[in-house]
């Protein structure tokens, strides 16, 4: 019985140790909105369609909570993996009806080349 518990605790520690090595945020490009296209329509009913790739951040950041002797009896350290935005990029929509308004021919998306852990308040 003790061997079983020890083995379970050891294997859990190994698995947790493996996951903590993924501390960094990773940037990837994801096609949005998936299998469908983005469709924009002007006031005359003309449309522009297209598929775009958005920068997406994945991964996790350190989050912790510790107790204190003063109210509210806890100290939180929370952060999320987010895009470090360097600007806005305009992407043309490729499939437009003839005579579609210029205002619907482009779409603006956030632009960045890296992701980082950013702290945020929970209150």
More confident residue, 90 or 121: 90
Whole-angstrom distance, CA of residue 25 vs CA of residue 17: 17
In a domain, 66, yes or no: yes
- In-domain check, residue 72: yes
What percent of the chain shows pLDDT beyond 70? 78
| pLDDT the model gives residue 11 | 40
In a domain, 78, yes or no: yes
44 belongs to a structural domain: yes
- What is the pLDDT at residue 5? 36
31-90 tens-digit pLDDT: 876 777 889 999 999 999 988 888 889 988 887 777 777 777 777 788 889 898 889 999
**Structural domain total, the chain:** 1
Buried b / exposed e over 30-61, threshold 16 CB at 10 Å, is eeeeeeeeeebebeeeebbebbbebbebeeeb
Q: 90 lies in which domain range?
A: 23-119
Is there a domain that residue 10 lies in? no
Q: Is residue 14 part of a domain?
A: no
33: which residues sit within 8 A by CB, 6+ positions away?
Answer: none
Give the predicted TM-score (pTM) of the model. 0.58
Residue 2 lies in a domain: no
Q: Is 8 part of a structural domain of the chain?
A: no
pLDDT at residue 7 greater than cutoff 80: no
In the three-class reduction of DSSP (H, G, I as helix; E, B as strand; rest coil), residue 71 is classed as coil
């Amino acid at each position: 019985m003790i061997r079983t518990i020890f083995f379970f605790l050891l294997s859990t520690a190994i698995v947790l140790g493996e996951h903590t090595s993924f501390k960094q945020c990773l940037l990837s490009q994801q096609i949005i909105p998936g299998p469908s296209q983005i469709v924009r329509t002007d006031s005359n009913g003309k449309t522009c369609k297209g598929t775009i790739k958005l920068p997406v951040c994945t991964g996790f950041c350190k989050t912790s909570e510790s107790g204190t002797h003063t109210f509210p009896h806890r100290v939180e350290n929370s952060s999320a993996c987010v895009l470090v935005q360097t600007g806005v990029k305009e992407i043309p929509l490729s499939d437009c009806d003839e005579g579609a308004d210029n205002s619907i021919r482009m779409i603006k998306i956030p632009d960045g080349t890296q992701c980082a852990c950013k702290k945020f308040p929970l209150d």
